[in-house]
Amino acid sequence: MSANNVISIKSKPNDIAPIQNVPLRTMVANRLREAILSGQLPLGSSLVETELAEQLNVSRAPIREAIQILENDGLIETIAYKGKRVKPLTTREVEEIFSLRELYEVMAVRRILESSTPVDALHQHCSDMTAAAKVENFSALTAADEAFHRTLISLADHDLLMASWNNLYLRIHQMMAIRNNEKRNLTEVARNHPPIVQALEANDANLAIKLITDHTRILAALDLVNLIKEK
């Protein structure tokens, strides 16, 4: 083959994301999940298929399937003779979720320190929280707050811990959104996180564990159940 006939094979561009064929039920479930977690669909609110179908401009079938997905997630429940509703929080659920969260995050801190894992990735989430707090952006701060704690768990490099955290994630996100939206001083929320990173970088186990424990207990101590009822 002559030089003029050589076929040049170029590598595929790696900056073009593939087109994803997402089922309609999944798209609807994602939209409803976002509405629940943000509070747009309040806890305890009834879910009427016809109304949701009209709002989202879809038929009732994907609405029904999406509701089933979210019921499996624990965000929606069925009430006899009344239908579906966004599952409310109970005092027991709040206590159980945050007692587990504390155990998970303390475990993550211990593993990070024992393995001397770099925690550079946490700095960006701290910066994002600070930026969001400055402009009073509740949703951005909640997203960065969540990313911080998810990264902390991820840095522990423990698959079962990560899987357990994922099981708690949706309700934790929901509670964080309630707290961040209610607590108007978002700067205080944001500045609670950098000292945790600094203690990890200083390899100060006692301080890091104290800070992460205090941090998780601040939210657990809030009377979220009554706070929601008052709205």
The full 3-state SS of the chain, as one line of letters, equals: CCHHHCCCCCCCCCCCCCCCCCCHHHHHHHHHHHHHHHCCCCCCCEECHHHHHHHHCCCHHHHHHHHHHHHHHCCEEEECCCEEEECCCCHHHHHHHHHHHHHHHHHHHHHHHHCCCCCCHHHHHHHHHHHHHHCCCHHHHHHHHHHHHHHHHHHCCCHHHHHHHHHHHHHHHHHHHHHHHHCCCHHHHHHCCHHHHHHHHCCCHHHHHHHHHHHHHHHHHCCHHHHHHHC
For the segment 103-129, what is each residue's pLDDT rounded down to a tens digit? 999 999 999 999 999 999 999 999 999
Residue type, position 27, single letter: M
41 contacts 28 by C-beta, under 8 angstroms: no
The mean pLDDT value for 201-228 works out to: 79
The mean pLDDT value for 19-40 works out to: 84
The pLDDT of residue 7 is above 90: no
Task: Say what the pLDDT of residue 181 is.
Answer: 58
Task: Say what the pLDDT of residue 10 is.
Answer: 46
State both tokens at 164: 């357990």
Query: 31-45, 110-124, 127-141: lowest mean pLDDT where?
Result: 31-45
Which residue from 113, 201, 111 is spatially nearest to 165, judged by alpha carbons? 111
Task: Say what the pLDDT of residue 186 is.
Answer: 83
Higher pLDDT, 133 or 90: 133
pLDDT confidence of 19, banded at 50, 70, 90?
Answer: low
User: What average pLDDT is seen over the chain?
Assistant: 84
Which residue from 107, 128, 111, 114 is spatially nearest to 193, judged by alpha carbons? 128
Please give the domain boundaries of the chain with CATH numbers for all domains.
24-86 (1.10.10.10), 91-230 (1.20.120.530)
